[in-house]
Amino acid sequence: MSNVRPRKVLQPVTQAFESLLPEQLFFLRALSEHGVEFTVVGGYAMRSLGHTRLTNDLDLVIKQTDDNVARVGRLLETLPDYNASGREPCLMQPEKKVVWKGVELFSTMKGFLYSEIEAESLHCQVQELRVRTMSLEHMKRAKTLALAALDRHGKKDIDEADLAFLRAKSEA
């Protein structure tokens, strides 16, 4: 007899995205139109798992391929009020990010390969868009890593509450 617990199949909470700002929804549509591969992480991923916590920003991590990063670059050129002016981070480098009107687009996520995130991800319907969100197990791992990080000033209480929610959800 195996000690391996069967993996739970979770249905993401699509209403989690109802509080998106118009600019954030615009950005998701632009990603889709440009064919960019990405996954929602952070607060909106937590909300898609059923956590009712508030979040202001939309955190995304992109797939690290030359073609995908080039698509992101073309998308950024089309954004209203976005001016890279020579400060554009190289999204092929680890732990770089682009910020635009409540969206944080990360090149990588510490402690994860994108292929891992993608393989375990859930899918949510956000209006007419189908978006990938980070799985429960990966969110637990991400929050554990966040609590160990030294650069999470002011976010420890949120990370602890998120991790407690995730642990309870995975035991339910």
| pLDDT per residue as tens digits for the range 156-171 | 889 999 999 999 999 9
- With CA atoms as reference, report the closest residue to 49 among 133, 127, 130: 133
Helices (H), the chain: 22-33, 43-48, 66-78, 114-120, 136-148, 156-171
State pLDDT tens for residues 76-92.
Answer: 988 888 766 555 568 88
Owning domain of residue 69? 14-134
Residue of 12 and 97 predicted with greater confidence: 97
The pLDDT, as a whole number, for residue 85 is 54
- Residues 84/99, Cβ–Cβ less than 8 Å: no
Domain membership flag for residue 28:
yes
Domain membership flag for residue 54:
yes
Domain membership flag for residue 88:
yes
Domain membership flag for residue 150:
no
pTM: 0.88
Number of domains in the chain: 1
Domain membership flag for residue 147:
no
Domain membership flag for residue 9:
no
The H or E element spanning position 126 is strand 122-126
Query: Residue 40 and residue 61: Cα distance in Å, rounded?
Result: 7
Confidence of residue 2 (pLDDT cuts 50, 70, 90): very low
Domain membership flag for residue 22:
yes
Domain membership flag for residue 2:
no
Alpha-carbon dihedral sign for residues 125, 19, 49, 112: positive
Q: At 39, which CATH number?
A: 3.30.460
- With CA atoms as reference, report the closest residue to 155 among 167, 168, 146: 146
